[in-house]
Chains A and B, each alone.
Chain A
Amino acid sequence: MSMIEDVKVLRNVPLFSSLDDSKLKLLSFTGKWVKYQPGDNLCVEGEKGEDAFVILEGEVDVTVGGKHGPILVNNHGAGVMVGEIAIVCDVPRTATVTAKNDLVVLKITKEVFMQLIRGYPEVAIAVIRELALRVNDGVRIALRNETI
Chain B
Amino acid sequence: MESSIYKYILRHSRKEQVLILLATMLSMPLIYYSLEIPKLIINQAIGGDGIPASIQGVEVTQINYLLLLCCAYLLLTVVNGGIKYHLNVYRGVLSERMLRRMRYTLYSRVLRFPIPYFKRISQSEVVPIITAETEPLGGFISDAFALPAFQGGLLVTYLAFIFNQDIFLGFAATAIYPLQLYVIPKLQKKVNELSRRRVLTVRSLASRIGEAFAGNTEIRTLDTSKYERAEISSRLGSLFEIRKEIYQRKYFIKFLNNFLNQITPFFFYLVGGYFVIKGQLSLGALIAVLAAYKDLAGPWKELLKYYQIKEDVRVKYAQIISQFEPRSIIDERLIDSESVTNTPLQGALQVNGLTYEDDNGIKHIDGVSFEVPVSQHMAIVGPSGGGKDELARLIVGLVVPTRGQIKLNGANMAELPVALTSRHMSYAGQGAYLFNGSVLDNIYYGLKNQPHDAEQVDFDHDRREAKRTGNSLFDIRSQWINLEVAGVQSDTALEARAIDMLSVVELESDIYELGLRSKLTRNTNAALEEKLLYARQLLSSELVSFGLSHLVELFDYNEYNTNAPVADNLLFGVPRDSSTTIHELIRHPYVLDTLSHNGLLDELVQSGRKAAETMIELFSDLPPGHEFFNQFSFISSDELPQYKLLLGRIDVDGIGSITAEERDKFLSIALLLVPTQHRLGIIDDAIQQRLVHARHRLSDRMPSELRGLIALFNANHYSRASSVQDNILFGKLAFGQANAEERIGELIRSVIEEVGIYRDVMRLGLSYDVGIGGASIPVAQRQKLALARALIKDTDMVVIDDAISVLENDAQQRIMTNVRRLCSDRGLVWTLTQESLAENFNQVLTIEKGKLVERSTNIE
Contact = CB atoms under 8 A, between A and B. Distances in A.
Interface in A103-137: 104, 111-112, 115, 119
Contacts, number: 54
Interface stretch (B14-22, B78-86, B626-634, B758-766): B626-634
A33 B738 contact: no
Interface stretch (B33-41, B304-312, B678-686, B831-839): B678-686
Interface stretch (A23-31, A66-74, A81-89): A23-31
Contacts of B679: 1-3, 6, 28-29, 33
B618 interface: yes
A101 to B, nearest CB: 14
A6 B680 CA distance: 11
Contacts of B614: 25, 29
A95 B679 CA distance: 31
Contacts of A2: 679-681
A61 interface: no
Contact of B735 (A29, A33, A104): A33
A104 B738 CA distance: 9
A37 interface: yes
B736 A34 contact: yes
A109 to B, nearest CB: 10
B622 A35 contact: no
Contacts of B104: none
Contacts of A112: 628
B680 A115 contact: no
Interface string A3-42: 1101000000000000000110110111011111100101
Nearest to A103: B738
B737 interface: yes
Contacts of A33: 679, 735-736
B681 A115 contact: no
Given A22-B621, A115-B626, A119-B622, A29 B678 contact: yes
Contact of A34 (B627, B628, B678, B737): B737
Nearest to B623: A119
A30 B622 CA distance: 13
A10 to B, nearest CB: 13
Interface string B793-806: 00000000000000
Given A3-B680, A36-B738, A37-B738, A30 B627 contact: no
Which applies to chain A's interface (DSSP): helix, strand, loop or mixed? helix
Contacts of A6: 679
A119 B628 CA distance: 10
A25 B681 contact: no
Given A3-B681, A22-B617, A22-B621, A29 B632 contact: yes
B177 interface: no
Contact of A26 (B619, B627, B736, B737): B619
B739 interface: yes
A23 B626 CA distance: 15
Nearest to A26: B618
Contacts of B737: 34-35
Nearest to A6: B679
Nearest to B680: A3
Interface string B90-111: 0000000000000000000000
Nearest to A120: B621
A29 B623 CA distance: 18
A103 B75 CA distance: 103
Contacts of A4: 681
B613 to A, nearest CB: 12
A33 B736 CA distance: 5
A42 B628 CA distance: 25
B813 to A, nearest CB: 16
Nearest to B620: A22
A30 B738 contact: no
Contact of B628 (A22, A104, A115): A115
B305 to A, nearest CB: 70
B617 A35 contact: no
Contact of A30 (B623, B632, B680): B632
A116 B614 CA distance: 18
A51 to B, nearest CB: 11
B114 to A, nearest CB: 45
* Interface-centre pick from B628, B632, B738 (highest chain A CB count, 10 A): B738
A41 B441 CA distance: 42
Nearest to B633: A29
Nearest to A29: B618
B739 to A, nearest CB: 7
A28 to B, nearest CB: 8
Given A30-B628, A115-B626, A40 B681 contact: no
Contacts of B632: 29-30
A25 B617 contact: yes
Contact of A35 (B627, B678, B738): B738
Interface in B598-613: none
Nearest to A116: B628
Nearest to B627: A115
Interface string B728-743: 0000000111110000
Nearest to B675: A2
Interface string A33-55: 11111001010000000000000
A115 B452 CA distance: 59
B81 to A, nearest CB: 78
Interface string B293-326: 0000000000000000000000000000000000
Given A1-B679, A2-B681, A35 B736 contact: yes
Nearest to B737: A35
Contacts of B626: 115, 119
A6 B678 CA distance: 12
Contacts of B681: 2-4
Contacts of A36: 738
B685 to A, nearest CB: 13
Nearest to A33: B736
* Interface-centre pick from A28, A35, A36 (highest chain B CB count, 10 A): A35
B739 A40 contact: yes
A23 B619 CA distance: 9
* Interface-centre pick from B623, B679, B735 (highest chain A CB count, 10 A): B679
A30 to B, nearest CB: 5
A53 to B, nearest CB: 10
Nearest to A21: B617
A28 B677 CA distance: 11
B254 to A, nearest CB: 71
A33 B735 CA distance: 8
Contacts of A22: 617-618, 621
A104 to B, nearest CB: 8
Contacts of B735: 32-33
A12 to B, nearest CB: 19
B747 to A, nearest CB: 16
Interface in B389-432: none
A37 to B, nearest CB: 7
A25 B618 contact: yes
Contacts of A35: 736-738
A112 B618 CA distance: 14
A74 B738 CA distance: 22
Nearest to A104: B736
Interface string B675-707: 000111100000000000000000000000000
A126 to B, nearest CB: 17
A111 B679 CA distance: 21
Given A23-B621, A115-B628, 18 more contacts: A1-B679, A2-B679, A2-B680, A3-B679, A3-B681, A26-B618, A26-B628, A29-B614, A29-B618, A29-B680, A30-B628, A30-B631, A32-B735, A33-B736, A34-B738, A111-B627, A115-B627, A119-B622
Those 7 A-B pairs whose CB atoms lie nearest each other, nearest first: A2-B681, A36-B738, A33-B736, A26-B618, A34-B738, A2-B679, A34-B736
22 contacts: A2-B681, A3-B680, A4-B681, A25-B614, A25-B618, A26-B618, A26-B619, A29-B618, A29-B632, A29-B679, A30-B631, A33-B736, A34-B738, A35-B737, A35-B738, A37-B738, A104-B736, A112-B628, A115-B626, A115-B627, A115-B628, A119-B623
